[in-house]
Amino acid sequence: MSALKIKKGSTKHSAYNLRPSFSDVQERHTLAVLVDNEAGVLARVIGLFSARGYNIESLTVAEVDHEGGLSRITVVTTGTPQVIEQIKAQLGRIVPVHDVHDLTVEGPSVERELALLKVAGGGDKRVEALRLADIFRANVVDSTLESFVFEITGTPEKIDAFADLMRPLGLVEVARTGVAALSRGA
């Protein structure tokens, strides 16, 4: 209580924002970072996350401009809005970083991931696995008498759903590339 007996943040008519602006809600953000393609840059970017205890859900890196020597790092991370802002600000201060874009905030974006799933089984389970693969538009890239290897591309949620359905049918192994993302439009 203040000296005026007004509870802090209790009125909408105050000229000051007395309500705390911090949020405890964890949000998932996709960050696209354009960096110089040189040794040690990825270690510096990832070091920023590990030194502060930030989580990385997905990480992909590839050269995007051979002549300009630029690579694109796509990082999917979770945190409170304050943590996400802090991550973006600290990424922007690293010397070989040219651009940091928060694709989650900047508008509509397209996210895709590639996964390979090995499913072992026979009989009805084998037929069911092929039927589900057809529904999810997954391709069979390897087949033996005991197993299939499926290739599927889509959103991380689509891949999770496909993997969940394959578990009871004999899912043995999963390899995922991580999210690649671009903003939509011009």
- The CATH number that applies at residue 144 is 3.30.70.1150
- Quick check: is 13 in a domain? no
113 in the same domain as 75: no
Domain that holds residue 128: 109-183
Residue 16 has pLDDT above 50, yes or no: yes
CB 84 within 8 A of CB 54: no
Q: What is the 3-state secondary structure (H, E, C) of the chain?
A: CCCCCCCCCCCCCCCCCCCCCCCCCCEEEEEEEEEECCCCHHHHHHHHHHHHCCEEEEEEEEEEECCCCEEEEEEEEEECHHHHHHHHHHHHHCCCEEEEEECCCCCCEEEEEEEEEEEECCCHHHHHHHHHHHHCCCEEEEECCCEEEEEEEECHHHHHHHHHHHHHHCEEEEEECCCEEEECCC
**pLDDT value at position 95?**
84
**Chain segment 46-67, per-residue pLDDT in tens:** 999 988 888 899 999 999 999 9
Return the percentage of the chain with pLDDT > 70, whole number. Answer: 88
Nearest residue to 114 via CA among 162, 175, 181: 175
119 in the same domain as 76: no
- Quick check: is 97 in a domain? yes
Residue 148 has which token pair? 């299939």
Q: How many domains does the chain have?
A: 2
**pLDDT value at position 62?**
93
**Chain segment 72-119, per-residue pLDDT in tens:** 999 999 988 899 999 999 999 988 999 999 999 998 999 999 999 999
Q: Rounded to whole angstroms, how far apart are CA atoms 180 and 186?
A: 18
Q: Kindly report the average pLDDT of the chain as a whole number.
A: 88
Which of 102, 122, 151 finishes a domain?
102
CB 179 within 8 A of CB 113: yes
Residue 150 has pLDDT above 70, yes or no: yes
The model's confidence at residue 22, banded by pLDDT at 50, 70 and 90, is low
The model's confidence at residue 1, banded by pLDDT at 50, 70 and 90, is very low
**pLDDT value at position 52?**
87
